[in-house]
């Protein structure tokens, strides 16, 4: 969104600093049905060794949860975990059961009450994505192998005792939800996903290593059968404890086996592999030198949980949730990628914008522009909002330095966030910002992919959001810079009538505006 903040940078700084200690988490009503249930299982790294308290004697506290929520490099991504007083948020819209411990999600559900595991950010992310109450059931024990302790029935031989115990715990909790969580309304639950982080005990044994892919595939099939959920979404987090520096052949082969399982034809679209090597942090950045426990680095466990949640939500959404009806076939004649994978045909600040696995995002509120200028065109893309996201696609930009009055912005926003839900309709998703509101709210909630098709032909701009046309603007009618044709006021910083703007211009994407992340992918264009 274009705001006056562009002209009052001092206030931006103050608001961002304050925002680090503000909580955007709005808990859903307790017990709202149907209860969404996720299973998290594995061995010690699913238990979690990420240290919460900062130890100043150990690398000045680096890598602890207390450190990363205050470090300028990570405060923004973790700010939703603390309240304005710096206390850990306790989410009553996300419950967790972990062996003998249970309650509302907060820090301290790792292997010990002094640590976190992947459940921490996983729970925050899925809790943000759902209106319904969420329940995490975590069953994890250190030093357990998929070859023996977790051995699935289909692999033959003796069924692993911890496979049996895992299922017993899951069924006991699901059969007694009201006992464990009195706020549960008793109106049913849905088992929606299974997350797995394990591998050390198989990677240190050659026979277990060799059999891992087969055992993992059998484990998935058997879990689905025993829990009675066909094609239950299943996420495997890589055992990548030494990061990209890992050289041991058994470790490399086990990680390869984990990735291979997700590529089985039968698991297409319902099993995902999450690479974790990028999440490794060195001992010098961490609370310990326990390489097999990710050096006890809380940021690592946070990122693993975040990666697992994103992969899980993507599986749950499924390929059909990104609308196709009402949108063009961008594989057809005349379509091409708007941007190169290395962004070499874009004007952008290096270190701000990046592309990873086809997803483009920014770390700061700095726009990215196409080098080429376009006249008539159709642009088709997908975007995903972070909490309280506020971004946009910018067209007809004739001046990238003074772009605010010299362009048209198609707004992207998390309309479900309190600050944007109460904003003017012309500031909400699908609107021509400041000028024309969308006909209805069609943007999906945080963490889900949306699809935009924006057509610019002459002075007509048409916007299709998630399969429906929500906006059509004839720029020639906007002859005033103060009042829209409907009679409502135009924000003062949009001080040029749209009727007089040049039509040839750059296409742009707004960055991490207001500290809220935004993600883009599959950006395609067809010139008319």
CB 197 within 8 A of CB 118: yes
Q: Phi and psi at residue 90, in whole multiples of 5°?
A: -110, 110
74: helix, strand or coil: coil
* Model pLDDT, residue 250: 92
Burial class (CB in 10 A: 0-12, 13-18, 19+), 272: buried
- Please name the residues in contact with 483: beta carbons below 8 A apart, sequence gap of 6 or more: 489, 490
The strand order across the sheet containing 91-98 reads: 101-105, 91-98, 134-140, 35-42, 189-197, 234-237, 271-274
* Model pLDDT, residue 31: 52
Using alpha carbons, list the distances in angstroms from residue 477 to 97, 460, 473.
Answer: 59, 10, 8
CB 202 within 8 A of CB 243: no
Using alpha carbons, list the distances in angstroms from residue 56 to 48, 66, 115, 475.
Answer: 21, 11, 17, 59
For residues 92-118, b (16+ Cβ closer than 10 Å) or e, as one string? bbbbbbbeeebebbbbbbbbeeebbbb
Beta bridge partners of 385: 518
| Mean pLDDT, the chain cut into blocks of 10 residues (528 residues total) | 33 27 34 87 97 94 95 86 91 94 97 97 88 94 96 97 98 96 93 96 91 97 97 95 88 94 94 94 95 95 94 75 73 90 93 90 94 96 92 96 94 88 90 93 89 95 93 95 92 92 96 90 94
CA distance linking residue 394 with residue 368, whole number of Å: 10
Give domain 31-319's CATH number out of 2.40.37.10, 3.50.50.60, 3.40.50.1110, 3.30.365.10.
3.40.50.1110
Burial class (CB in 10 A: 0-12, 13-18, 19+), 12: middle
CB 90 within 8 A of CB 76: no
* Model pLDDT, residue 323: 59
CB 415 within 8 A of CB 443: yes
Q: Which residue ranges make up each domain of the chain?
A: 31-319, 335-527
Fold entry, domain 335-527: Jelly Rolls (2.60.120)
* Model pLDDT, residue 3: 39
Rg (CA), the chain: 24
* Model pLDDT, residue 222: 98
CA distance linking residue 269 with residue 267, whole number of Å: 6
């Amino acid at each position: 969104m274009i705001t006056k903040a562009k002209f009052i940078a001092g206030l931006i700084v103050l608001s961002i600093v304050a925002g680090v200690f503000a909580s955007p988490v709005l808990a859903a009503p307790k017990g709202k049905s149907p209860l969404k249930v996720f299973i998290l299982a594995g061995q010690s790294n699913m238990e979690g060794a990420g240290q919460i308290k900062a130890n100043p004697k150990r690398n000045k506290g680096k890598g602890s949860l207390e450190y990363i929520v205050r470090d300028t490099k990570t405060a923004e991504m973790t700010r939703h975990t603390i309240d304005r007083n710096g206390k850990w948020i306790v989410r009553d819209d996300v419950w967790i059961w972990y062996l003998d411990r249970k309650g509302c999600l907060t820090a301290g559900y790792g292997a010990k009450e002094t640590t976190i595991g992947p459940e921490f950010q996983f729970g925050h992310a899925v809790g943000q994505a759902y209106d319904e109450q969420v329940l995490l059931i975590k069953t994890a024990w250190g030093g357990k192998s998929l070859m023996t302790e977790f051995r699935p029935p289909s692999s033959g031989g003796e069924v692993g005792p911890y496979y049996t115990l895992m299922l017993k715990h899951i069924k006991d909790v699901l059969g007694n939800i009201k006992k464990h969580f009195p706020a549960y309304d008793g109106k049913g639950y849905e088992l929606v996903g299974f997350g797995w982080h394990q591998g050390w005990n198989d990677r240190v044994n050659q026979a277990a290593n060799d059999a891992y892919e087969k055992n993992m595939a059998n484990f998935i099939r058997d879990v689905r059968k025993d829990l009675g959920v066909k094609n239950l979404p299943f996420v495997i987090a890589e055992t990548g404890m030494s990061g990209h520096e890992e050289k041991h052949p058994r470790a490399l082969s086990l990680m390869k086996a984990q990735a291979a399982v997700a590529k089985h034809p039968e698991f297409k679209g319902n099993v995902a592999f999450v690479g974790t090597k990028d999440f490794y942090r060195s001992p010098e950045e961490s609370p310990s030198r326990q390489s097999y426990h990710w050096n006890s680095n809380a940021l690592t466990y946070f990122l693993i949980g975040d990666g697992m949640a994103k992969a899980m939500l993507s599986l749950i959404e499924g390929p059909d949730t990104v609308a196709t009806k009402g949108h063009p076939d961008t594989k057809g004649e005349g379509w091409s990628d708007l941007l190169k994978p290395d962004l070499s045909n874009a004007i952008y600040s290096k270190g701000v914008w990046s592309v990873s696995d086809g997803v483009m995002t920014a770390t700061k509120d700095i726009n990215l522009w196409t080098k080429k200028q376009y006249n008539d065109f159709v642009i088709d893309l997908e975007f995903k909002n972070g909490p309280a996201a506020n971004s946009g696609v910018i067209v007809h930009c004739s001046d990238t330095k003074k772009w605010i009055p010299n362009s048209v912005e198609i707004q992207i926003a998390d309309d479900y966030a309190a600050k944007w839900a109460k904003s003017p309709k012309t500031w909400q998703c699908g609107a021509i910002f400041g000028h024309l509101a969308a006909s209805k709210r069609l943007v999906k909630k945080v963490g889900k992919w949306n699809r935009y098709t924006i057509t610019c032909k002459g002075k007509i701009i048409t916007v299709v959001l998630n399969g429906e046309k929500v906006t059509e603007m004839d720029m020639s009618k906007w002859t005033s810079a103060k009042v829209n044709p409907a009679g409502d006021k135009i924000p003062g910083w949009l001080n040029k009538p749209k009727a007089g703007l040049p039509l040839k211009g750059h296409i742009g994407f707004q960055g991490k505006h207001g500290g809220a992340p935004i993600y883009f992918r599959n950006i395609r264009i067809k010139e008319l």
